[in-house]
Amino acid sequence: MSRSIPAVLKRDTTFKRESGQVPGVDENTGGLSGLFAPERVAVIGATESDGSIGRAITQNLQDDFAGETVPVNPKYDDVLGLDCYPDIESVPGELNLAVIVVPPSIAVDAVRQCGEADVQNVVVITAGFGETGSEGASREQELTEVAEEYGLNLVGPNSLGVMSTPTGLNATFGPENALSGSISFMSQSGAFITAVLDWANDEGIGFKDVVSLGNKAVLDETDFVNAWGDDPDTDVILGYLEGVENGGEFIDAARETTDDTPIVMVKSGRTEAGAQAVSSHTGTLAGSEQAYEAGLEQAGVLRVENVQELFDFAQILSGQPVPDSDDVAIVTNAGGPGVMTTDAVGDSNLSLASFTDETLAELSEEMPDEANIYNPIDAIGDADIERFEKALDIALADENVGCAVVLSAPTAVLDYDQLAEAVTDLQAEHGKPVAAVLMGGERTQSAKEKLSEGGIPNYFDPARAVRSLDALSRYRTISQRDYDEPAQFDVDRERAAEILARADERGDNRLGVEAMDLLDAYGIPTPEGTIAEDPEEAVAAAQDIQGEVVMKIVSPDILHKSDIGGVKVGVAPEDVYDAYEDLVTRARNYQPDAEILGVQVQEMVDLDSGTETIIGMNRDPQFGPLLLFGLGGIFVEILEDTETRVAPVSEREASEMVEGIRSAPLLRGARGRDPADREAIVESLQRLSQLVTDFPAILELDVNPLVAGPDGVQAVDVRLTVDTDEL
């Protein structure tokens, strides 16, 4: 079971942070150094029983751990030849970490004893907590409380454990230790860790720290992002997550970390999109999957779909520098695969480099006449190592080249080991990222190892090589992006609070156009409008507005007013009285018990020169307020052309939402139409962002339509749901 730890696979990478930090010092690992680099570890529940977890952990620690392992169990005097203590209190000297493997009924007590004995870091392997029903859930609650009382860094419960290769720490019950490397890996599934390690060990992929998050009763993904972001020995953070505990905190932590440490994540499983009934358009359009997509993107996380990409990206990010430009050179001895690679480049954000005249001149001098010297460079099938090496050297020297794919089919005149060596040397010499596609079976094995020593991944499939280079380029963009703080507008917060409080007074948590003033209080423009409670009032209101008006039924029970004929556009002054009665009659026919608050009489908004858009918010259980922008009106759900972001949004993010929808060209003015005032939309989104951030009581809200004209926007409809307990 014991395996020696081979040479560190860690590479120097150009994007790594400047650091004068000393590993192992608390500030550098976000206060978790005692967890990953302890000197003495207690195993509470250590035993020699065959097949037990208590034995596996003690054995794993004994095999590779550079520090001291201290078994704790009242039943034994020694375990696996180590002195065993009856309880944590009787262990002499300082302990940095306790691993808890006792049965669930006594696990919380064991943690409390750790707190009493001043052991700061605890890993609870024991299962039978929140994952098992209500008794387990209350036990987990207790566990969290004890951990908080003593300020413990607690991993788990229901965790496989933690690993850290610099000290050989393997406090898990998995069958294998990890190889050393610079990837730190967290996983919500312990089983996934054992599977990954088994595979990674064969692939020669190494890790710095590994943590099985378990039920995340205390420490969660955000804590590890913070810790590893500050850890000079972690070059890449990987995560396999089923959910994010606190989306907002996670975004903040990740945003800061991804400046100099890339984060790559698989997010699996679906979360319940919250218990609240979804009644808004935004609610149906912006589910929890959108929240993850938006949140992880805003956080700068490279989200991947599968495990292969997780490690493809991890390897290239830890092994290669980021490219200065996105222009790829392809160097090959095989035409067909060269075309495949070119296609893959076309599918990515990268582009095919166009060589300078000097490069072309040099290539034509060095290559045979039959070779193709334009990108992709085809050195043709009889290319030997010298020709291949020359071609790559010339390509990498070209200032128009940001990165390269070296692509080769096996031939009798080419030795893969030599090629691997040449590629590794040239990559190091030119400092540009390279991905290799030395195609073949068994014969590629030793070449692959050579490349890997140089931090260069090798793939069979050219598309994987291109996607990996693409990930490097995406990470460059992420690491360079500036985060601007969300704007704070001067708003009337008190008035907004009063309007929201009406929901409570009325005993209904839904508000409609009668809450239009809420938008006004936050500076989102609305047309003039009044709620009339009888036909006479409606006539008077219409007189104030002058000209034709729009009339709408006002009832919390009627969500989509026009569906029941509850909206009349272009009502002439003389028709207002009858229109009032007609609207109320229709509503009564539709739903006899509907509560009717009256009829809104609203100024007409010019729809001919404007575009109906929607701005809205739906509160996600993990990420909080999720803003939505799209084309609006009555076809919004059919069009499904929307962009989402987690609020609060910066101006840049709001503007990305507006420019990001498929129909954005429409807003820029198509077919002779005047362009819409996009700045006004962007500002309305920012103001809405501020509103929903200021009032967590707003569960969902949409403004549909927000009419975007050439000179500003008008919100003509609003609907929201309020959590009256939060008011």
Q: How far is the CB of 717 from Mg ion (least distance, A)?
A: 4
Written as one string, the DSSP assignment of 286-314 is S-HHHHHHHHHHHHT-EEESSHHHHHHHH
Q: How far is the CB of 256 from ligand ADP (least distance, A)?
A: 41
279 forms part of the interface with ligand ADP (CB under 6 A): no
Give CA–CA dist 348/47, Å, rounded: 53
Among 188, 602, 655, 693, binds ligand ADP (CB under 6 A): 602
**Which backbone phi and psi does 572 adopt, to 5 degrees?**
-75, 150
Chain positions 138 to 167 lying near ligand ADP, rule: CB under 6 A, are none
The residue (of 463 and 607) whose beta carbon lies closer to ligand ADP is: 607
Tokens linked to 155: 């991993």
**Nearest partner of 120 among 32, 23, 217, 208, judged by Cα:** 32
526 forms part of the interface with ligand ADP (CB under 6 A): no
- How many other C-beta atoms are found inside a 10 Å radius of the C-beta of residue 582? 16
Stretch that binds Mg ion, among 59-67, 323-331, 608-616, 713-721 (CB under 5 A): 713-721
Among 633, 675, 710, 712, binds ligand ADP (CB under 6 A): 633
569 forms part of the interface with ligand ADP (CB under 6 A): yes
717 forms part of the interface with Mg ion (CB under 5 A): yes
The residue (of 16 and 560) whose beta carbon lies closer to ligand ADP is: 560
Stretch that binds Mg ion, among 292-300, 471-479, 658-666, 710-718 (CB under 5 A): 710-718
The residue (of 226 and 509) whose beta carbon lies closer to ligand ADP is: 509
What does 660 bind: Mg ion, ligand ADP, none (CB cut-off 5 to 8 Å by kind)? none
Give CA–CA dist 363/368, Å, rounded: 9
What does 373 bind: ligand ADP, Mg ion, none (CB cut-off 5 to 8 Å by kind)? none
Q: How far is the CB of 625 from ligand ADP (least distance, A)?
A: 22
Bridge-based pairing of strands 624-631 and 642-646 is antiparallel
**Nearest partner of 88 among 41, 47, 33, judged by Cα:** 41
706 forms part of the interface with ligand ADP (CB under 6 A): no
The residue (of 203 and 557) whose beta carbon lies closer to Mg ion is: 557
Stretch that binds ligand ADP, among 6-14, 147-155, 556-564, 590-598 (CB under 6 A): 556-564
Tokens linked to 500: 């929201």
**Which backbone phi and psi does 284 adopt, to 5 degrees?**
-80, -25
Stretch that binds ligand ADP, among 394-402, 537-545, 562-570, 685-693 (CB under 6 A): 562-570
221 forms part of the interface with Mg ion (CB under 5 A): no
612 forms part of the interface with Mg ion (CB under 5 A): no
Among 267, 464, 467, 552, binds ligand ADP (CB under 6 A): 552
What does 641 bind: Mg ion, ligand ADP, none (CB cut-off 5 to 8 Å by kind)? none
Tokens linked to 460: 């069979």
514 forms part of the interface with ligand ADP (CB under 6 A): no
359 forms part of the interface with Mg ion (CB under 5 A): no
Cβ neighbors of 36 (< 8 A, separation 6 or more) are 29, 162, 164, 167, 169, 209, 227
What does 569 bind: Mg ion, ligand ADP, none (CB cut-off 5 to 8 Å by kind)? ligand ADP
If residue 338 lies in a helix (H) or strand (E), which one and from where to where?
helix 335-347
Among 634, 639, 664, 727, binds ligand ADP (CB under 6 A): 634
495 forms part of the interface with ligand ADP (CB under 6 A): no
Stretch that binds ligand ADP, among 249-257, 330-338, 365-373, 558-566 (CB under 6 A): 558-566
Q: Across 367-493, where does the E strand assignment appear? A: 377-378, 403-408, 434-438
- How many other C-beta atoms are found inside a 10 Å radius of the C-beta of residue 254? 27
Among 405, 550, 579, 615, binds ligand ADP (CB under 6 A): 550
Is the alpha carbon torsion for 551, 557, 561, 566 positive or negative? negative
Q: By Cβ distance, which residue is nearest to Mg ion? A: 717
Stretch that binds ligand ADP, among 322-330, 597-605, 621-629, 666-674 (CB under 6 A): 597-605
Stretch that binds Mg ion, among 292-300, 493-501, 664-672, 709-717 (CB under 5 A): 709-717
231 forms part of the interface with Mg ion (CB under 5 A): no
DSSP letter at 508 equals -
Cβ neighbors of 556 (< 8 A, separation 6 or more) are 506, 508, 510, 511, 512, 595, 597
The residue (of 141 and 562) whose beta carbon lies closer to Mg ion is: 562
Residue 629: strand pairing partners: 615, 643
What does 518 bind: ligand ADP, Mg ion, none (CB cut-off 5 to 8 Å by kind)? none
**Nearest partner of 72 among 36, 34, 122, judged by Cα:** 122
Tokens 């931090």 label which residue? Answer: 455
Bridge-based pairing of strands 403-408 and 698-709 is unpaired
DSSP letter at 382 equals T
Q: How far is the CB of 633 from ligand ADP (least distance, A)?
A: 5
The residue (of 281 and 467) whose beta carbon lies closer to ligand ADP is: 281
The residue (of 112 and 552) whose beta carbon lies closer to Mg ion is: 552
**Nearest partner of 646 among 254, 311, 230, 201, judged by Cα:** 254
676 forms part of the interface with ligand ADP (CB under 6 A): no
Q: How far is the CB of 560 from ligand ADP (least distance, A)?
A: 5
Bridge-based pairing of strands 327-332 and 403-408 is parallel
Q: Which amino acid is at 379?
A: A
Cβ neighbors of 177 (< 8 A, separation 6 or more) are 2, 3, 5, 60, 63, 64, 163, 165, 168, 170, 197
In sequence order, which ranges of 367-459 are alpha helices (DSSP H)? 385-397, 416-430, 445-453
Q: How far is the CB of 188 from ligand ADP (least distance, A)?
A: 41
The residue (of 467 and 552) whose beta carbon lies closer to ligand ADP is: 552
Cβ neighbors of 324 (< 8 A, separation 6 or more) are 402, 432
Tokens 């919390």 label which residue? Answer: 556
If residue 237 lies in a helix (H) or strand (E), which one and from where to where?
strand 236-241
Site mask for Mg ion (CB under 5 A), range 668-707, x = bound: ------------------------------------x---
704, 672 in Cβ contact below 8 A? no
Q: How far is the CB of 709 from ligand ADP (least distance, A)?
A: 11
Site residues for Mg ion per CB under 5 A: 704, 717
Site residues for ligand ADP per CB under 6 A: 527, 550, 552, 560-562, 567, 569, 602, 604-605, 607, 612, 633-634, 704-705, 716-717
